[in-house]
Amino acid sequence: MKKDLTRQQYLDLYYYMRLNRAVEDTMTKLFRQNKIVGGLYSSLGQEGISVGTAYALEKKDWLAPMIRNIGALLVKGVPPRDIFTQHMAKYTSPTLGKDGTSHFGDLDNLHIVSPISMLGDLIPVMTGVAMAGRYLGQKIVAMTWIGDGGSSTGVFHEGLNFAAVQRAPFVLILENNQWAYSTPVKRQVPIANLADRAKAYGIASYVVDGNDVVAVYQTTKEAVDRARAGEGPILIEAKTMRMRGHAQHDPAEYVPKEMFEYWKQRDPIELYEKFLLGKKLLDAATKKELETKMEALLAKDRDFAEASPMPPPELAEKGVYCTGDDCHKIAAKWERNQAEVTPPRSSVPAVWKVAGFGEGKGSGGKNAPIHFGDTASAEALADNEGKLAPKAPAKIVTNGTAKSAAKNSRKSAAHLSAKKPSKVPAGKARR
């Protein structure tokens, strides 16, 4: 059984979800006033995922948000003013007005890696961060997010495979919000649970209700603890719904109205508020206190952002080329004794133990036969010493018909490829 949260933890989750939505509501108003210069991407209906997952991390851990993870930034300690000024491209923003969207981070203090527009690319990046932390003995966990559409990119699979092989302390949150821009999940993949993709890499996975912030937090906390303990990367699929279009310019007319109505009844903040009231963890006085605190913060930070200047024109040419004093000083920062991380003490013998000496085993048990296609031959079954496999009549399944290895070995790949294809009647598919 997962442990219950303290009352303060329950209230923290409520506050950050409410703040997440209020920040985005404020930015929607600024966007309609032409004060937001870049794109604006809503996380309406997904606040429970960003808040619940980020809240499971420790201060020393690292995260890399995507465009719908403002809630994670707030939990990590980013003030609303930085989010406002960043989207308004003001000189006081984290990027000094050089970016009008969410591309900013904080490597030194908050351990936030800036978003990367190419979907999936943060997975290998954060795998590297996780490995670096382990290398330095920091016991950190790295986390990033990806959408259902982004999980079909090549780098998603390459990065997750890399993380699995390296057993990196890395947690990947897959936000299944039903739509990759205008493409529904069922038109993207032929599986019901995207978390099943973890099986291909031999790593653990979870499926969680993304609109239940407590379930999201508890599931993520368990995954983070497991990753920190050395169990390797973990994939969490959080099922939810994107309640707005891809961005402010998209009216999402391709989404059935009935689908919006169904998920509207499952609003994560409304569900959670009912839960808190029912458990007597929240009362009218506490709710009012939290709302007053939030409104004062937003008013102060919005006024600051609107009063901030735009970047001066001369800033445009700075930071483009690395010349003179403007160059970044790149040098090794030794966090450990240099002798420990350089040869010979850092070296390992170039000899690897190979379980079973590389012999193939089927999934049916120790002596299960291996299944090959038409062009497979007994000669292909060479062991690690370069010797040919014995030409015993081991069964090789080919299109459902058993043939002996000896007979199959007499057919070369070239001979098989020269066979005339069988005629298939028009309109019928080949089995």
Q: Are strands 179-180 and 234-239 parallel, antiparallel or unpaired?
A: unpaired
So what's the architecture of 7-325 in CATH?
A: 3-Layer(aba) Sandwich (3.40)
Over residues 331-369, the pLDDT tens digits come to 777 777 888 878 888 887 888 888 777 776 554 545 555
Q: For 261-281, how does the pLDDT look when each residue is reduced to its tens digit (9 = 90+)?
A: 988 999 999 999 999 999 999
Give the mean model confidence (pLDDT) for residues 313-319: 86
In this prediction, residues 28-41 reach a mean pLDDT of 89
Q: How far apart are CA 405 and CA 384, in angstroms?
A: 20
**pLDDT-derived band at 405, boundaries 50, 70, 90:** very low
For residue 251, what pLDDT is reported?
Answer: 83
Separation CA 147–CA 220 (nearest Å)? 17
Is residue 402 classed as helix, strand or coil in its secondary structure?
strand
Q: What pairing do the DSSP bridges indicate for beta strands 62-64 and 179-180?
A: unpaired
Q: Mind listing the pLDDT tens digit for each residue in 189-211?
A: 888 899 999 999 999 999 999 99
Distance (Å, whole) CA 231 – CA 341: 24
Residues 132-183 pLDDT 10s: 999 888 999 999 999 998 899 999 999 999 999 999 999 999 999 888 888 8
The span from the CA of 422 to the CA of 431, in Å, is 12
In the chain, CATH 3.40.50.970 sits at 7-325
Q: Name the β-bridge partners of 402.
A: 397
